[in-house]
Structure 1
């Protein structure tokens, strides 16, 4: 147990001037190293969190939080039952049927695409497609009009623009007197959207659900029902509850299953960067070893006098642990404050650097996310502070143990 005497002497040694100024420099360098390591770790983890949050928001603005579909890709005929059951569940705020198939789309050029048939009145309750329209009118998707809304990248690759006609080839054939011909239909481009996610902007097109049923010859069946929740992290529980209540051949999945690889990659990246930056903090923390060892050598006579006056080896060890912990805590505090300020102003800092150097680090015509997002989370900050404190404390043990082993007679022999 640390007593007032050890605490007082340890704090006194921390404030005292050194006979050897190089020791003061090493202590200062250790403190600044810990501060920089903590600051960098908080900032980098916050930026990774920001990219993950931004990517998740953009992706999930177009992706259903949960999906009900038929087994084996068969059309779902009992979809009104699925909608009725889903709407009674907690956290479900929207449900909309859809028809989805892979097609070939021909404008000035030919490009593959995924066509999704939607109900324009229900689709906005499960996705942000209406808000992502950059050109044209989403309301122009009317039954029987055979209009289509394309992603901007898809329109570019297919050589189509607003008002043009495109041919949509379904993966089916129809028998005619001339033989088997591909099932196709001409659509007019009435809108272009940009969600900020290449998967959708490059490969997705929307038509009215009734036009899709006619094109793919599905009758009144649909591919499935898409759900939106008020809390996306409840998707697994809602999917399990929905699967237990539905009767018949239904397949229920949530967004964590459909986008597992993406979010596993983001989590792996965050963990990897946390480990790498922890090593930086560890290197800075263990610089305390050299500074405290030199301090012990500098204080040999003082330690011998304290031992002669009756101070135990354990008390001597506590004195130097206190001194090392104080240095570490000051460095951690400076780094934490700096990391929080830097994480909260990462975007402003990038804009400032862009103004100084005269070029964009993340140009909007290249990157979908052109700003530098940052999501500061206090649990991450506490984890970083706790880990830094533990590493710094461990670094003080060897020098303190070395001080405790000082023999008074030998230390005072040449004084």
Structure 2
């Protein structure tokens, strides 16, 4: 089978044992270094992609994309206001709500909580919290029954099960600065949701009509809505604010949770740069390997030159030898990285069981597991970049090899 001379000799040099065992060690170290760099970069970026996906697909299915809230009082005509919100470009759906903070009490146990009083009939237009309800459903949340749906963490903290009663302590709005006993509202637990993160311990849901009675309101004082482009949520919220003829606070997930997205993007960028530098350092081992290989093969190079081998063919021999190391290292790293990235969540879960401790706490982070999403295109780019860097690392030794003088190496005089 025909093979170009440079490719044949380059591949043969790559597989051959070196006279100096240190050269073989450096060669293996370069392959291992490239493999580890590529593997860690793919796994790290997959984890960041996973966090980004979890933020988009989990947290933002529970937290509304954007909201408008009355500065004072309630909407004069909530239905008209909702129609105006839904008529705004890029808005997919809207629902009224009332936000209130209180203290839940069950016997001697207490838990502070943010409660969203929602309309069960239209809440699915904006959020998908219903898919996380493990026990009960929106249908059980009836007007006038003083019922509540809580996160699993809150229910466990208070020792509650479905159907049990508890109390909600609300500050008296009329008390001003005077010390006054809180308003006590009896509630019944009709549902438990579990998303697996901070939301489970900070958020509860009740019927909007019950909240209106508790707070003595005529209507809802806020409207939540869903948009078609979450990264433009703040701008769309401003457009909604201009379309509604009320004095409003304008909020979006970017103002409340945007730091998470920015942190993920920053870590992803830093990781990309830092770990590519790690791969670059590993590629410099190829320079050391080839420099020593050229010194070892000086006689062979001189003989090839006397036989008429061109300078470019000689350079290509050592470029092939170094590129082979880079290719092997890049492919091994890519395969290992892809495998770990695809199984990262289960591997970390297994590790957590072994050490008996959770790496990510749902009380601190918005999720309590390490997510991963492998981007094959991203993995291909990383592998290609590592290979290109390894090829670039071969250029200096290859040029040095082509400048060897046959007469001097073979002992002939001028």
Q: TM-score, normalised by structure 1?
A: 0.82
Measure how far apart 1:229 and its partner are: 3.9
Do the aligned partners of 1:105 and 1:169 also contact (CA within 8 Å) in 2? no
Residue of structure 2 in register with 1:400 after alignment: 398
Aligned match of 2:209:
210
Q: Hey, what does 2:104 align to over in structure 1?
A: 105
Q: Describe how 1:15-414 pairs up with structure 2 within 5 A.
A: 15-16=12-13, 17-18=16-17, 20=19, 22=21, 23-24=23-24, 26-70=26-70, 72=71, 75-89=74-88, 92-108=91-107, 109-158=109-158, 161-162=161-162, 163-170=164-171, 172-173=173-174, 181-182=180-181, 184-220=183-219, 222-229=220-227, 232-233=230-231, 235-236=233-234, 238-308=236-306, 313=311, 316-347=314-345, 349=347, 362=358, 373-413=371-411
- 1:127 is displaced (CA, Å) by 2.0
**1:306–1:77 CA distance, 2 compared to 1 (3 A):** farther
Could you tell me how far 1:310 is from its partner in structure 2? 5.5
Cα distance change on mapping 1:213 and 1:8 into 2, 3 Å: farther
- Deviation, 1:315, is 5.4
Q: Deviations over 1:338-372 (max 9, x none)?
A: 32233223345557778xx9666759998986665
In the alignment, structure 2 segments of 5+ residues that lack a partner are: none
2:11 is aligned to: 14
> Which is worse superposed, 21-30 or 373-382?
21-30
Q: Secondary structure of 2:27's match?
A: helix
> Per-residue deviation at 1:90?
5.6
TM-score (norm 2): 0.82
Give RMSD over aligned pairs: 3.6
Change (3 A) 1:206 1:19: closer
Shift of 1:377: 0.9
* Gapped regions of structure 1 (runs ≥ 5): none
Alpha-carbon separation, structure 2, partners of 1:171 and 1:195: 31
Change (3 A) 1:374 1:199: closer
SS in 2 for 1:131: helix
CA distance in 2, matches of 1:116, 1:347: 32
Once the two structures are TM-superposed, the CA of residue 99 in structure 1 deviates from its matched residue by 0.6
Check whether the contact 1:332–1:385 (CA below 8 A) recurs between aligned residues.
yes
Q: Please give the alpha-carbon distance, in whole angstroms, between the structure 2 residues aligned to 1:10 and 1:401.
A: 16
Q: Deviations over 1:183-221 (max 9, x none)?
A: 62413222343333543222222221122122223322x
